[in-house]
């Protein structure tokens, strides 16, 4: 147990090194982690570490889904709900059907039930890889919203398909009407359980005397309670986590204090980074185990994996353009978010179909034996095909997606105001609102009635004038004066840090107070760096 713990410590250190390498090479870190895992698998240094499907489903999946739900904009999710729903449910089902037919036709002895099982395993794309790449290359916000929203639902849809296909293989029976009814029951009740438990946690945060630490711990426990409650009654734990996460995310400002929000965001950012890093690295480490257990020849198995990968890529592209046609037809009868999506968006969304850890965990969860005590048919081949699909889509599509985005150059037809201008408008309005309040607190002679209010009004007037000047010149290239201001301000902050560190050596000053002011300076630098990114695009 102690050796295993230290192996995980070394794995985390390797993850940090590989992520830094990915940043240096300007590549998406999931691609580099998978390739790094493959390289490590050759050394056999981490043979003791295996992907346990139960650990993935019970330990890794709930917090990753919950964190994704908190990151998704409910407004954007609702705006693009029809596109997201079409990718999450119909496309997953269509993809499963296509994979079932192709695998049944190409693999000797492979039944349709096994084909549907394989289709349910490999149908859900991994959104973490796609969004990581898209954030490195400038893409319209609606594409990220669709990919993020799809990721919240497609895992649930694929795992439900996998569950029914596995039951059909084990029992040898499949009743479509009963399966369809159970399918919708699993979806509806899983969502209902998520909303119900979400309201319980909302009440705890909202009305009980919690502290920021308690709030943070509660957010860590919430996804596990949501997932376990739904799975205990054999409904969709994934949808329970998604629905509960979306509900609590929409109410974060009413149920959490400012300190709870800041502390929980920091904790979740680190946790999701480590969990994602581990699962992508473990995917690469699984190669020797999967290859050793392969019954069929390695050459034919690789061929099957490549054919299924090609089927998935082509199938998703066709479904993406099919969704455009359906949207254009539906716009004649109902109001849609985009009546004419064009061709650029569907190409990028269709190509952003990399597979990930959910597919591998689902494949690993296939039982070794059937109820009759016989070895599960083609289990090792399904595992190998799944691994090839993950490797091909993640590495090949992941490396070519930035190039495709640059070539296609998607236009943002739904953003009426550029993001940089939105930032300036909001900042100006906030400054004017604050100035209005300060002036309303002025004395009868129209001037603030104390020095503090006078200083505050002067600062707000300067801010308002600064943002007005920025807005008037925001259409052109950034002003050199603004760059010089940023440089001076950053130097000023660094000198203030130096002063605080010097004062920390004096015994009469409490270090906790010094740290508080250092944190304030960090927040100031963070805001300034964000402004630099908006105006220059530099890191």
HEC readout, 212-274: HHHHHHHHHHHHHHHHHHHHHCCCCHHHHHHHHHHHHHHCHHHHCCHHHHHHHHHHHHHHHHH
**Continuous segment of H or E residues that includes residue 4:** helix 2-25
Q: Does residue 415 fall inside a structural domain?
A: no
pLDDT at residue 539, as a whole number: 40
Which domain covers residue 458, as residue numbers? 420-476
Calpha distance 230→194 (Å, rounded): 8
How many angstroms separate the CA atoms of 320 and 310, rounded?
Answer: 15
Residues 339 and 448 in one domain: no
288 and 383: one domain?
Answer: yes
Rounded-to-integer distance, Cα 19 and Cα 36, Å: 10
Contacts of 53 (CB under 8 A, 6+ apart): 361, 362, 364, 365
Q: Which pLDDT value is given to residue 185?
A: 85
How far is the C-alpha of 226 from the C-alpha of 237, rounded, in Å? 7
Are 203 and 278 found together in one domain? yes
Q: What is the 3-state secondary structure of 436-484?
A: HHHHHCCCCCCCCCCHHHHHHHHHHHHHHHHHHHHHHHCCCCCCHHHHH
Residues 6+ apart with CB under 8 A from 404: 347, 348, 351
Please report whether residue 286 resides in a domain: yes
Does residue 77 sit within a domain? yes
Residue 184 lies in a domain: yes
321 and 386 inside one domain = yes
Q: Give the per-residue pLDDT at 448.
A: 55
Q: Are residues 120 and 148 in the same domain?
A: yes
Positions in the chain short of pLDDT 50: 476, 537-539
Please indicate, yes or no, whether residues 90 and 151 belong to a single structural domain of this protein. Answer: yes
pLDDT at 339: 64
Element (H, E) at 323: helix 298-330
- Joined together, the tokens standing for residue 83 give 């596109």
Greatest CA separation for the chain? 92
Inter-CA distances, 130 with 202, 397, 400, Å: 31, 9, 11
Question: In this structure, is residue 113 part of a structural domain?
Answer: yes
Within a domain: 330 = yes
pLDDT at 481: 65
Last residue of one domain, picked from the residues 376, 408, 440: 408
In this structure, the answer to whether residues 387 and 266 fall within a common structural domain is yes
- Its pTM stands at 0.80
What integer pLDDT is reported at residue 215 of this predicted model?
A: 94
394-406 burial code (b ≥16 CB/10 A, e <16): bbebbeebbeebe
The span from the CA of 60 to the CA of 526, in Å, is 30
The answer to whether residue 105 is domain-embedded is yes
Do 452 and 510 sit in the same domain of this protein?
no
Residues 395 and 511 in one domain: no
Helix/strand/coil for 355? strand
CATH number, position 186: 1.20.1530.20
Same domain, 267 and 127: yes
- 520 assigned to some structural domain: yes
Question: Cα separations (Å) of 245 from 117, 354, 404, 496, 505?
Answer: 28, 24, 33, 40, 45
* Residue 200 confidence (pLDDT): 96
Q: Quick one: 307 and 442 in the same domain?
A: no
Question: What's the pLDDT score for residue 538?
Answer: 40
216 and 91 in one domain?
yes
The count of domains in the chain is: 3
């Amino acid at each position: 147990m102690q050796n295993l713990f230290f192996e995980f410590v070394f794995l985390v250190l390797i993850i940090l090194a590989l992520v830094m390498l990915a940043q240096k090479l300007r590549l998406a870190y999931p691609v580099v982690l998978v390739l790094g895992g493959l390289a490590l698998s050759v050394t056999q240094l981490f043979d003791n570490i295996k992907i346990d499907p139960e650990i993935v489903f019970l330990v890794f999946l709930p917090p990753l889904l919950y964190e994704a739900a908190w990151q998704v904009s409910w407004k954007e999710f609702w705006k693009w709900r029809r596109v997201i729903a079409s990718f999450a449910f119909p496309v997953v089902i269509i993809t499963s059907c296509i994979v079932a037919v192709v695998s049944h036709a190409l693999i000797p002895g492979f039944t349709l039930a096994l084909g549907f099982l394989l289709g349910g395993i490999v149908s859900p794309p991994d959104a973490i890889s796609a969004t990581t790449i898209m954030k490195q290359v400038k893409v319209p916000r609606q594409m990220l919203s669709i990919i993020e929203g799809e990721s919240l639902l497609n895992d649930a849809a694929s795992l439900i398909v996998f569950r029914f296909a596995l039951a059909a293989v084990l029992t040898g029976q499949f009743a479509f009407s009963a399966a369809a009814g159970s399918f919708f029951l699993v979806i509806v009740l899983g969502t209902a359980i998520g909303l119900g438990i979400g309201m319980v946690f909302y009440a705890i945060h909202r009305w009980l005397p919690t502290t920021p630490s308690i709030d943070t711990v509660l957010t860590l426990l919430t996804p596990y309670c949501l997932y376990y409650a739904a799975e205990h009654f054999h409904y969709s734990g994934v949808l329970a986590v998604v629905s509960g996460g979306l509900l609590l995310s929409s109410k974060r400002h009413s149920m959490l204090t400012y300190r709870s929000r800041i502390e929980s965001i920091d904790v979740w950012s680190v946790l999701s980074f480590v969990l994602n890093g581990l699962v992508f690295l473990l995917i690469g480490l699984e190669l020797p185990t999967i290859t050793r257990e392969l019954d069929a020849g390695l050459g034919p198995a690789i061929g099957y994996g490549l054919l299924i990968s090609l089927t998935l890529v082509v199938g998703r592209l066709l479904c993406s353009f099919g969704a455009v046609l359906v949207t254009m037809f539906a716009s004649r009868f109902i109001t849609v978010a985009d009546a004419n999506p064009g061709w650029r968006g569907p190409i990028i969304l269709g190509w952003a179909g990399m597979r990930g850890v959910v597919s591998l965990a689902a494949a690993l969860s296939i039982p070794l034996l059937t109820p009759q005590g016989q070895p599960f048919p083609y289990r090792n081949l399904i595992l190998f095909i799944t691994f090839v699909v993950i490797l091909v889509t993640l590495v090949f599509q992941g490396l070519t997606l930035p190039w495709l985005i640059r070539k296609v150059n998607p236009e943002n037809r739904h953003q009426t105001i550029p993001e940089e201008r939105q930032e300036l408008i909001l900042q100006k309005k906030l400054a004017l609102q604050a100035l209005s309040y300060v002036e309303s607190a002025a004395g009868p002679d129209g001037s603030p009635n104390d020095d503090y209010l006078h200083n505050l009004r002067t600062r707000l007037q300067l801010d308002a004038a600064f943002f007005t000047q920025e807005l008037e010149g925001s259409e052109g290239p950034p002003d050199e004066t603004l760059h010089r201001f940023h440089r001076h301000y950053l130097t000023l902050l660094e000198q203030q840090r130096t002063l605080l560190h010097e004062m920390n050596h004096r015994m009469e000053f409490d270090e906790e107070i010094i740290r508080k002011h250092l944190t304030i300076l960090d927040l100031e630098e963070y805001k300034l760096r964000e402004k630099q990114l908006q105006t220059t695009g530099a890191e």
